[in-house]
Amino acid sequence: MFQATKEFAEILDQKDSLANYRNEFYLQPNTIYLDGNSLGLLSRRAEQSLLDLLASWKTLAIDGWMQGEHPWYYFAEKLGALSGPLVGAKEDEVIVTGSTTTNLHQLIATFYQPNGNKTKILADELNFPSDIYAIQSQLKLKGFDPETHLIQVKSRDGRTINEEDIINEMTEEVALIILPTVLYRSGQLLDIGRLTKAAHDRGILIGFDGCHSVGAIPHQFHDWDVDFAYWCNYKYLNSGPGGVGSLFVHEKHLGKMPGLTGWFGSDKEKQFDMKHEFSPSQTAGAYQIGTPHILSMAPLAGSLELFNEVTIERVREKSLKSTAYLMDLINEELSEFEFTIGNPLDDVSRGGHVCLEHEDAARICKALKLKGIVPDFRAPNVIRLAPIAFYTSYVDIWNSVQILKKIMVEKQYEQFQNEREIIA
């Protein structure tokens, strides 16, 4: 299918229907950025939407809450509606608010209702640590010991989680399940629909962390009957460092009292009545707590413009082709250097990045950065490489593998310590 020549990469770029979108982003000279699964690059449209919101503060002051192109009072709901097509949600099911972990706290506080012997939370042992911290914290607040009430499904290979093993742990003691859509190290994509059905067949609520999939992979959260989901917007959605997160709540749960209430979760028509009786919104907006962070949300408006123009299906199509091409080049060019591809190879189970394992991964990443390639290291031995559909060309991928090969042939990585920097 692929050929290991630069000419072939150039042909792929010529045929790429998304190639022109590369011009929408601020790419640095002499740099190939393969870390968009940690922090996406700034687009010109995201920059403009930030400037637009800044201008509304400048010119409208307090009236910006109800006037201008993006009235601040409804901004979170507007962005939620624009996000809906990315995750297969109805307009009222998504709200842009909080951060990944604060949203998870909100959702656990709402949906974890231990009753009788149904008191445990099921997760997995490879999930991002912050999710586990939040689960442990919420268990303690309910008076339960995480050592006994948090079940973490074991990995058979240290990379992936077997879905049968997850389903086998869905016992009558489990009240809630929280899983990643995509595992952050290996890039394994779980079968969300299958796991949701299995949970509901056993009377268990289930939610998903979409941080490593939303913006790279189409989802159908509503049709799959997912109870809730949450994600950040600064990775594949390019909303900027510390960008405001998002959450999804299925419409069947709308109207439910949030576990953590705050005034911006109020019914919009009643919020400024200033009564001490909380009247929750009948949309996902009920799960907001405090005043929206308007300027931190602003870049997302421009970024979502790009996604709704291109569609998430086309993004996924290029992402799959790019990661397949990258893996093919790795196998062709780097076979003698003891690399292992740790992500699933099939399209159905692969997320948006390639997980490249090597015992010298930390210092290989440092050598790559010295040569203008920006990867991502995850302990203990993972180099994550994420070709982003909007701005990574096939020639970028070809050049990256050639540079990595030169680093290995000349052992340039040996000048560095094999340990991560403060931020990996």
Summarize the annotated binding site for pyridoxal 5'-phosphate as residue ranges: 100-101, 128-131, 209, 212, 234, 263, 291
- Burial of 341 by CB count in 10 Å (0-12 exposed, 13-18 middle, 19+ buried)? middle
Q: Which of 249, 233, 253, 127 shows the shortest CA–CA distance to 181? A: 127
Q: Which of 213, 72, 19, 12 shows the shortest CA–CA distance to 27? A: 19
Three-state DSSP string of the chain: CCCCCHHHHHHHHHHCCCHHHHHHECCCCCCEECECCCCCCCEHHHHHHHHHHHHHHHHHHHHHHCCCCCCHHHHHHHHHHHHHHHHCCCHHHEEECCCHHHHHHHHHHHHCCCECCECEEEEECCCCHHHHHHHHHHHHHCCCCHHHHEEEECCCCCCCCCHHHHHHCCCCCEEEEEEECECCCCCEECCHHHHHHHHHHCCCEEEEECCCCCCCCCCCCCCCCCCEEEECCCCCCCCCCCCCCEEEECHHHCCCCCCCCCHHHECCCCHHHCCCCCCECCCHHHHCCCCCCHHHHHHHHHHHHHHHHHCHHHHHHHHHHHHHHHHHHHHHHCHHHCCEECCCCCHHHECCCEEEECCCHHHHHHHHHHCCEECEEECCCEEEEECCCCCCCHHHHHHHHHHHHHHHHCCHHHHCCCCCCCCC
Q: Which residues are annotated as a binding site?
A: 100-101, 128-131, 209, 212, 234, 263, 291
